[in-house]
Structure 1
Amino acid sequence: MRRRLFVAVLLSSAVALTPTMSSAAQAPHAAPAFAYPQAKRVDVVETQFGVPVADPYRWLENDVRNDPEVANWVEAENKVTDAFLQTLPLRGFFKQRMTALYDYERYGLPVKKGGHYFYQHNTGLQNQSVLFVRDGLSGEPRQLIDPNGWSKDGATALAEWTPSDDGKLLAYSVQDGGTDWRTVRVMDVATGKLRTDELKWLKYSGGVAWAKDGTGFFYSRYPAPVAEATFQNATLNHRIYFHKLGTPQAADRLIYATAASPKLNHYVQVSDDGRWLVISTSEAGDENDVHVIDLRKQGLKPIALFTGRKNQWAYVGNDGMRFYFATDKDAPLKRVAAVDVGRAGATEATVVPEAKEALSDVSMIGGKLIASYLVDAKSEARVYSLTGNKLSTIDLPGIGTVGGFYGKSTDPETFFSFTSFNRPTTIYRYDTASGQESAWAEPKLTFDPETISVEQQFYQSKDGTKVPMFIVRKKGTSGPAPTLLYGYGGFNISVTPSFNPANIAWIERGGVYALANIRGGAEYGNAWHDGGRLANKQNVFDDFISAGEYLKAHGIAAPKGLAAIGRSNGGLLVGAVTNERPDLFDAVSPGVGVMDMLRFDKFTAGRYWVDDYGHPDKEGDFKTLLTYSPYHNIKGGKAYPALIAVTADTDDRVVPGHSFKYIAKLQATEGTGSAPHLIRIDTRSGHGSGKPITKIIEEYSDVYSFLGHFTGLDSTR
Structure 2
Amino acid sequence: MRRAVLAMFGLFAAAFAGALAENSPMDDPYIWLEDTHGAKPLAWVKDQNAKSLPGLKSDARYQPHYDFVLAALDAKDRIPYGGLDHNHVYNYWQDASHPKGVWRRTTIAEYQKADPAWETLIDLDKLAADEKENWVWKGTSCAPSMARCLVHLSRGGGDAVVVREFDVASKNFLKDGFFLKEAKSDVVMADDNTVLFGTDFGAGSMTSSGYPRLVKEWHRGQKLEDAKLLKEGVDSDVSVSAFTLHAGSYALKGIQRSVSFFEAEYFFPGQKGDWWQVPLPRTAIIQGLHQQQLLFTLRADWTSPSGQKIGKGILFALPYQDLAKFMIEGKGAFPQAAILYAPGPRASIENVSTGRDAVYVSVLNNVIGEVHALRLSGGKWSDRKLPLPPGGTVSIASTNDYGSEVLFGFESFLEPSSLYLDQGKDSPALIKSLPARFDASGMETVQYEATSSDGEKIPYFVVRPKTLKGPAPTILNGYGGFEVSRTPFYSAAYGKLWVARGGVYVLANIRGGGEFGPAWHTAALKTNRQKAFDDFAAVGADLIKRGITTPKQLGIVGGSNGGLLVSTVMTQHPEILGAVVCQVPLIDMIRYTQIGAGASWIAEYGDPADPKMADYIRTYSPYQNVKKDKKYPPVFFVTATSDDRVTPVHARKMAARMEEQGHDVIFYENTDGGHAAAANHKQAAEMSALTFVYFAQKLGLP
Same fold (TM over 0.5): yes
Q: Residues 129 and 513 of structure 1: is their aligned pair in 2 closer, same or farther, counting only changes over 3 Å? A: farther
Pairs within 5 Å for 1:529-568: 529-568=521-560
Pairs within 5 Å for 1:485-564: 485-504=476-495, 505-564=497-556
The aligned amino acid for 1:106 is R
Pairs within 5 Å for 1:232-271: 234-235=209-210, 237-245=212-220, 247=222, 249-258=224-233, 263-271=238-246
Separation in 2, partners of 1:244, 1:192: 22
- Residue number in structure 1 paired with 2:149: 170
Q: Residues 335 and 114 of structure 1: is their aligned pair in 2 closer, same or farther, counting only changes over 3 Å? A: closer
C-alpha deviations, 1:266-307, integer Å up to 9, x for none? 24224334442122221323221111126xx5x432121135
Match of 2:583 among 552, 577, 591: 591
C-alpha deviations, 1:564-601, integer Å up to 9, x for none? 10000111111111111111110101111111111101
- Residue number in structure 1 paired with 2:114: none
Match of 1:368 among 358, 375, 395: 358
Do the aligned residues in 2 keep the contact of 1:645 with 1:663 (CA within 8 Å)?
Answer: yes
Separation in 1, partners of 2:486, 2:16: 35
- Residue number in structure 1 paired with 2:316: 336
Which secondary structure state, in structure 1, belongs to the residue aligned with residue 162 of structure 2? strand
Give how far 1:481 is off. 1.5
- Residue number in structure 1 paired with 2:269: 293
Separation in 2, partners of 1:344, 1:537: 41
Which secondary structure state, in structure 2, belongs to the residue aligned with residue 138 of structure 1? helix
Q: Residues 267 and 524 of structure 1: is their aligned pair in 2 closer, same or farther, counting only changes over 3 Å? A: farther
Do the aligned residues in 1 keep the contact of 2:300 with 2:313 (CA within 8 Å)?
Answer: no
Do the aligned residues in 1 keep the contact of 2:297 with 2:313 (CA within 8 Å)?
Answer: no
Separation in 2, partners of 1:216, 1:631: 47
Match of 1:218 among 172, 190, 196: 196
- Residue number in structure 2 paired with 1:185: 164
Alignment root-mean-square deviation, CA: 2.8
Match of 1:280 among 239, 251, 256: 256
Which secondary structure state, in structure 1, belongs to the residue aligned with residue 22 of structure 2? strand
Give how far 1:410 is off. 5.7
Which secondary structure state, in structure 2, belongs to the residue aligned with residue 277 of structure 1? strand
Q: Residues 307 and 398 of structure 1: is their aligned pair in 2 closer, same or farther, counting only changes over 3 Å? A: closer
1:199 matches 2:199 = no
Give how far 1:126 is off. 4.6
Pairs within 5 Å for 1:28-47: none
Separation in 1, partners of 2:471, 2:185: 43
Match of 1:127 among 99, 102, 117: 99
Do the aligned residues in 1 keep the contact of 2:641 with 2:648 (CA within 8 Å)?
Answer: yes
Which secondary structure state, in structure 1, belongs to the residue aligned with residue 513 of structure 2? coil
The aligned amino acid for 1:664 is A
1:159 matches 2:138 = yes
Give how far 1:240 is off. 1.9
Pairs within 5 Å for 1:650-665: 650-665=642-657
Give how far 1:449 is off. 4.4
The aligned amino acid for 2:598 is G
Which secondary structure state, in structure 2, belongs to the residue aligned with residue 700 of structure 1? helix
TM, length-normalised to structure 2: 0.86
1:359 matches 2:339 = no
Do the aligned residues in 1 keep the contact of 2:410 with 2:417 (CA within 8 Å)?
Answer: yes
- Residue number in structure 1 paired with 2:665: 677
Separation in 2, partners of 1:431, 1:483: 43
Match of 2:89 among 117, 124, 144: 117
Separation in 2, partners of 1:464, 1:336: 33
1:381 matches 2:371 = yes
- Residue number in structure 2 paired with 1:703: 691
Match of 2:594 among 602, 606, 620: 602
1:688 matches 2:676 = yes
Q: Residues 185 and 106 of structure 1: is their aligned pair in 2 closer, same or farther, counting only changes over 3 Å? A: farther
- Residue number in structure 1 paired with 2:604: 612
Do the aligned residues in 1 keep the contact of 2:216 with 2:227 (CA within 8 Å)?
Answer: yes
Q: Residues 394 and 88 of structure 1: is their aligned pair in 2 closer, same or farther, counting only changes over 3 Å? A: same
Tell me the matched-pair count: 652
Match of 1:319 among 288, 291, 295: 291
Q: Residues 463 and 380 of structure 1: is their aligned pair in 2 closer, same or farther, counting only changes over 3 Å? A: same
Q: Residues 303 and 424 of structure 1: is their aligned pair in 2 closer, same or farther, counting only changes over 3 Å? A: farther
- Residue number in structure 2 paired with 1:141: 118
1:302 matches 2:275 = yes
Separation in 2, partners of 1:145, 1:255: 33
Higher relative contact order (CA 8 A, sep 6+): 1
Do the aligned residues in 2 keep the contact of 1:170 with 1:186 (CA within 8 Å)?
Answer: yes
Separation in 1, partners of 2:256, 2:593: 23
Separation in 2, partners of 1:536, 1:423: 36
The aligned amino acid for 1:173 is H
Give how far 1:490 is off. 0.7
Do the aligned residues in 2 keep the contact of 1:284 with 1:611 (CA within 8 Å)?
Answer: yes
Per mean C-alpha deviation after superposition, the further-off stretch among 570-579 and 259-268 is 259-268
Q: Residues 460 and 665 of structure 1: is their aligned pair in 2 closer, same or farther, counting only changes over 3 Å? A: same
The structure in which a higher percent of residues are helix is 2
TM, length-normalised to structure 1: 0.85
Query: Mind listing any 5+ residue stretches in structure 1 that lack a counterpart?
Result: 1-44
Give how far 1:679 is off. 0.8
1:93 matches 2:64 = yes
Which secondary structure state, in structure 2, belongs to the residue aligned with residue 106 of structure 1? coil
Give how far 1:428 is off. 1.8
C-alpha deviations, 1:143-169, integer Å up to 9, x for none? 112223444799632212233222322
- Residue number in structure 2 paired with 1:392: 384
Separation in 2, partners of 1:101, 1:542: 36
The aligned amino acid for 1:49 is A
Separation in 2, partners of 1:423, 1:615: 43
Q: Residues 580 and 204 of structure 1: is their aligned pair in 2 closer, same or farther, counting only changes over 3 Å? A: farther
Which secondary structure state, in structure 2, belongs to the residue aligned with residue 399 of structure 1? coil
- Residue number in structure 2 paired with 1:712: 700
Do the aligned residues in 2 keep the contact of 1:170 with 1:187 (CA within 8 Å)?
Answer: yes
Separation in 1, partners of 2:481, 2:237: 25
Separation in 2, partners of 1:475, 1:81: 35
Give how far 1:605 is off. 1.2
Give how far 1:628 is off. 0.5
Separation in 2, partners of 1:423, 1:291: 43
Per mean C-alpha deviation after superposition, the further-off stretch among 660-669 and 337-346 is 337-346
Give how far 1:473 is off. 2.5
Which secondary structure state, in structure 2, belongs to the residue aligned with residue 288 of structure 1? strand
Match of 2:631 among 617, 625, 639: 639
Per mean C-alpha deviation after superposition, the further-off stretch among 497-506 and 464-473 is 497-506
Q: Residues 456 and 664 of structure 1: is their aligned pair in 2 closer, same or farther, counting only changes over 3 Å? A: same
The aligned amino acid for 1:428 is Y
- Residue number in structure 2 paired with 1:23: none
Separation in 1, partners of 2:141, 2:517: 31
Do the aligned residues in 2 keep the contact of 1:240 with 1:268 (CA within 8 Å)?
Answer: no
Q: Residues 686 and 60 of structure 1: is their aligned pair in 2 closer, same or farther, counting only changes over 3 Å? A: farther
Do the aligned residues in 1 keep the contact of 2:185 with 2:211 (CA within 8 Å)?
Answer: no
Q: Residues 403 and 188 of structure 1: is their aligned pair in 2 closer, same or farther, counting only changes over 3 Å? A: same
The aligned amino acid for 1:102 is L
Separation in 2, partners of 1:247, 1:108: 38
The aligned amino acid for 1:210 is A
- Residue number in structure 1 paired with 2:28: 56
- Residue number in structure 1 paired with 2:306: none
Q: Residues 269 and 285 of structure 1: is their aligned pair in 2 closer, same or farther, counting only changes over 3 Å? A: same
The aligned amino acid for 2:535 is D
Which secondary structure state, in structure 2, belongs to the residue aligned with residue 351 of structure 1? strand
Per mean C-alpha deviation after superposition, the further-off stretch among 484-493 and 328-337 is 328-337
- Residue number in structure 2 paired with 1:69: 40
Separation in 2, partners of 1:711, 1:411: 52
Which secondary structure state, in structure 2, belongs to the residue aligned with residue 355 of structure 1? coil
Q: Residues 203 and 497 of structure 1: is their aligned pair in 2 closer, same or farther, counting only changes over 3 Å? A: farther
Separation in 1, partners of 2:203, 2:675: 20
- Residue number in structure 1 paired with 2:563: 571
Separation in 2, partners of 1:448, 1:101: 14
